[in-house]
Structure 1
Amino acid sequence: MPDDIGSRLREIRKRRGMSQTELAAAADLSVSLVSKVEQGEKRDVRLETAHRLARALDVPTTRLLTNEARQWTPPVDAETWRPVVEALQAAPAQLPEPPTEAGVRGALAGGRALFAREQYDDLGRMLPALIRDVQALEQSVGARRLRYQVMQLCISYLGQVRQYDAAADAAQRALDAASDELDGGAAVVAQCQQLLRKGRLADVAELATRWADDVEPRMSKARPEELAVWGGLQLRAGAAAVRDNRPGEAADALRLAQLAAVGLGREVITGPDHLRHFGPVTVTQQRAEHAAIQRRPDRVLRLHQAVRDWRPARGGGRSGRCRHLLDVADAHLRLHDDTRCTEILHSIYDEAPQWLVAQRYGQDILSRVIERRRTLSPEMRDLADAMRVPL
């Protein structure tokens, strides 16, 4: 973030699409004064002058005078996600009208549809009641299975709104409700994802490796769901290793995941929670993510060529593809192709606007584009506003 008033003024003016002459006219100041402020020749800017500039740029005066960047927040309001967290923490309640497994199953299907359509506000409003109902079900095999599936939906939602502690708690609850080893492995895949986001790399490596050893299938007789869970655990182990600068272990994990992907031969979704989405494309996208973390943009783009025309089947996989495209946009930017980078961000926004708005990674990429360019096209300014890139 710019650390002086001149740099801040220039960046905000650029976002507004104004020339120095236009800003000077809007603020009733001389072009010479605006130029001197931006170039750092005039640092003792009077409060009245800063106020005029701020009014012309439609920002608070303090945004010009201080270097306090606006804190990034999830696009879903806290008043929407907080009741979900509270419902998870609450003890099972005695409800006036006992819920039924059929009713919970129907509500769960509706919640999954909301998540697939990125209607996070609506999903957040319905989840507390769903959590209370599933916890109030009488003990049965079906009720346990529903608790597992509801917790998996909570993981997806809470991760999307960046409530990682609560998502990790939901993952542990899903693990507790797992009815078999494969359900447990899928829950651990989700748990590892939340721990990764919190930077707990050693925990992820230990947990994923231990569970991968426990569920390792016999390749000659493995069922698709076994390969998907085991491969997903290997990908989590590799994700922790590459972030922890252990490239050899990361490469080994990718090699094992590739064995599972070859065994499948295609992308599959072996569970309704979408956390068992796995196959050759998923592994290739993870290889590209490793290359992005290792600052190898050429390799990211080469890997992308193998999967660029792939589209996920209806019902899952879109977030993984969009996350991969962010790595591709980052690679183009590192290779100084701002235009192609912005085109890819536009394509992601067209396909999954609410998902992209929730990605700090996407904001960071576009912020770097803005910093590098002398002027912004109207399309770039519109995209920056749509993605809520802070001024």
Structure 2
Amino acid sequence: MTDVAVATRVAQARKLAGLTQRQLADRANVSIGLVRSVEQKRAPATQAFIGAVAKALRVSVTDLTGQPFTPAPGPDTEVHAAIAGLRTELAAYDIDNAAITETQPLRQLAVSVERICTYRRNASFHRLGEELLPLLGEVRAAAHRSSGHEHDRALVMLCELYYSSYSLAHKLGYADLAGTAVDRLAWAATESGNPLWTATAQFQRAAMLTSCGDWTAAANFLESCRSNIEPRLSVGRREDLIAWGGLHLQSGLAASRAGKREIANAHLAEARDTAQRLGDDRDPVLSFGPTNVGIWSVALAVEAMDAPEALTRARTLTIPAGAPKERVGHHHMDLARAWLLFGDRPRALASLQEAKRVAPAQTRYNPMVHETVRALARAEARKVDTVTGFAVWCGIADRL
């Protein structure tokens, strides 16, 4: 897709729907001033705004963001090229893989799956593009040819591979494929009976509802999911604590997008208490723990458009060495938005540069990064080499 600003896409979609700016504002439950500011490129579009407008206009979020963005030449193009094969593999989830005559023992496959998990947590898109697809085909074959405990082990491996498929598709902007991957994750989790992977599928399903602007549906769904976990909390099993806390974080996001800040803070407080009870950051699935809750606390303040609170929370946050680059990169993207809201453009750009250093591909293809860069470029009275250079790196130069 061509890289056109969200502002332009919103205006085009609104006019195609035959709506005035005021009518769109009423349908999306946002102020007409915000619609005008976004369309006139005086304010960057937030994720909450994009979701609300997409729902009101009955278009997809990616119709407004323009995803997937054109990949950079070289390894990035190769990663995008793997998407076609991933579509086929996800469609064949419940069929044995006849192309595989003999599978490796599960203990050997488990080593490869663990490596995929590491790639996902470190936002290593190129590595995922190289290794994910063939491994998926082999583990699928192993799952269909095994029984009992071995079958369950293979299904849990598929959970990680489907989750990594979701992560890759989502971050590259293939929302439809990401949704399919979540469906496959839910299937494998249910078949294996694994409660943490079940909660992970629920977490991402709610994330998609939130992204599309259906915040009430997301909140109700998450409450229902937590009600199944709550009776087991007194036992204190790790997987239940991780699931409980992670689902509260996702509820906080839905509340923030809906403008319900007190509710968002209540969910954040519950997640923080749960993380303290857990006591560490060793969860390799949802990355739930004290550090990730701190990262989410900044993100939720940004979603609430409260830059001072976001920056205050960031100052008290210490991210340890070895934290997943996926989460650290997102944190610096959120910080960039916070500094932009605060009016400190140099620090906003510095945060983007740090996000690029930590997780380059993830940063390059994030639509909020594109919006932040456009806002920075428009705010400069003259061309600034560092901003222009970052825009070129993102692939959005001369189309601000």
- For normalisation by structure 1, the TM-score amounts to 0.73
1-structure distance, mates of 2:65, 2:330: 24
1-structure distance, mates of 2:129, 2:6: 36
The partner residue of 2:98 within 82, 94, 100 is 94
Summarize the Cα distance change of 1:110–1:131 in structure 2 as closer, same or farther, 3 Å threshold: same
Q: Which amino acid aligns with 1:269?
A: R
The answer on 1:269 being equivalent to 2:279 is no
Contact preservation (8 Å) 2:333, 2:363: no
Task: Name the structure 2 match of 1:359.
Answer: 366
Matches within 5 A, 1:334-349: 334-349=341-356
Task: Name the structure 1 match of 2:340.
Answer: 333
Summarize the Cα distance change of 1:168–1:244 in structure 2 as closer, same or farther, 3 Å threshold: same
Shift of residue 372 of structure 1?
0.7
Larger Rg: 1
Summarize the Cα distance change of 1:161–1:195 in structure 2 as closer, same or farther, 3 Å threshold: farther
Q: % of aligned pairs identical?
A: 19
Matches within 5 A, 1:1-391: 71-74=66-69, 75=71, 76-77=76-77, 78-90=80-92, 91-100=95-104, 101-116=106-121, 118-137=123-142, 138-139=145-146, 140-178=151-189, 179-216=193-230, 221-266=235-280, 268-270=281-283, 274-307=284-317, 309-313=318-322, 316=324, 318-391=325-398
2-structure distance, mates of 1:336, 1:165: 35
Q: Which amino acid aligns with 2:375?
A: R
Q: Which amino acid aligns with 2:228?
A: D
Summarize the Cα distance change of 1:95–1:245 in structure 2 as closer, same or farther, 3 Å threshold: same
Which gives a bigger RCO, structure 1 or 2 (Cα 8 Å, sep 6+)? 2
2-structure distance, mates of 1:149, 1:340: 36
Where in structure 1 do 4 or more consecutive aligned residues deviate above 6 Å? none
Contact preservation (8 Å) 2:156, 2:194: no
Shift of residue 103 of structure 1?
4.5
| 3-state SS, counterpart of residue 340 of structure 1 | helix
Task: Name the structure 2 match of 1:44.
Answer: none
Summarize the Cα distance change of 1:225–1:218 in structure 2 as closer, same or farther, 3 Å threshold: same
2-structure distance, mates of 1:119, 1:283: 23
Shift of residue 374 of structure 1?
1.4
2-structure distance, mates of 1:144, 1:250: 34
Shift of residue 169 of structure 1?
2.3
Q: Which amino acid aligns with 2:83?
A: W
Summarize the Cα distance change of 1:222–1:340 in structure 2 as closer, same or farther, 3 Å threshold: same
Structure 2: gaps of 5 or more residues: 9-63
Contact preservation (8 Å) 1:167, 1:194: no
Contact preservation (8 Å) 1:185, 1:215: no
Summarize the Cα distance change of 1:382–1:157 in structure 2 as closer, same or farther, 3 Å threshold: same
1-structure distance, mates of 2:67, 2:380: 23
2-structure distance, mates of 1:277, 1:313: 12
Shift of residue 235 of structure 1?
0.8
Shift of residue 72 of structure 1?
4.8
Summarize the Cα distance change of 1:199–1:312 in structure 2 as closer, same or farther, 3 Å threshold: farther
Summarize the Cα distance change of 1:94–1:203 in structure 2 as closer, same or farther, 3 Å threshold: farther
Summarize the Cα distance change of 1:340–1:156 in structure 2 as closer, same or farther, 3 Å threshold: same
Shift of residue 343 of structure 1?
1.5
Q: Which amino acid aligns with 1:324?
A: H
After superposition, the CA RMSD in angstroms is 2.8
Structure 1: gaps of 5 or more residues: 5-68
Summarize the Cα distance change of 1:235–1:2 in structure 2 as closer, same or farther, 3 Å threshold: closer
For each residue in 1:146-197, what CA deviation from the matched residue of structure 2 results, as whole angstroms up to 9, or x when unmatched?
A: 2222222212222221222322222222222222323311232233334433
Q: How many residues align?
A: 320
- For normalisation by structure 2, the TM-score amounts to 0.72
1-structure distance, mates of 2:369, 2:358: 14
Q: Which amino acid aligns with 2:385?
A: P
Summarize the Cα distance change of 1:70–1:110 in structure 2 as closer, same or farther, 3 Å threshold: closer
